[in-house]
Amino acid sequence: MDVLGLELVKETYREQRESFKADLALNGKYVIELFSFPDPPKRLSGPEGTGLRHLAFAVENISETVRVLQQKNIMPEPVRMDATTGKKFTFIADPDELPIEFYEM
C-alpha cells in the first residue's frame, strides 16, 4: 500500500462472514474499502465474488438520492444500515445487472 500512498485507516473482522474489511485513505480522505473472503465464488455480481464487485458513490442524503432515482424510474433496494459505521446505504443495478452503491456520508 506504500507504493500507492494508501493508508490503512481501519481493519475490521466480520465474524458472521468470516472475512476482513479494510478501509483505506489517500491524503487523509477515505477512498477505498477492500473485502477478503475465505472462499469466494467465481461470479461477478455476488457480494463475496472475486474481483471488482461494485462502485460506490458517497451521497449527502440517502433519502433524497432514493427519491431522485425513483423519479427516474430506477428502483433501488431497500435502504440498509452499515453495522460497522452506522451509515445508511442502498444499491441499484446497472444495465449489466452489476451493483452500484449509494452510501450516505
**pLDDT at residue 89 above 90?**
yes
Banded pLDDT at 49 (limits 50, 70, 90): low
| Domain range list for the chain | 1-38, 52-105
Q: How does DSSP assign 6-41, residue by residue?
A: EEEEEEEEEGGGTEEEEEEEETTEEEEEEEE-SS--
Largest CA distance in the chain: 43
Grid cell digits, residue 28:
487523509
**pLDDT at residue 1 above 60?**
no
- H or E, element range at 57: strand 55-59
- DSSP state for residue 101 in the 8-state scheme: E
pLDDT digit string, tens, across residues 75-86: 999 999 998 889
Rounded distance between C-alpha atoms, residue 62 and residue 43, angstroms: 28
What CATH number matches the domain at 52-105, 3.40.50.300, 3.90.1150.10, 2.160.10.10, 3.10.180.10?
A: 3.10.180.10
Predicted pLDDT of residue 90: 96
The pLDDT mean for the chain works out to: 84
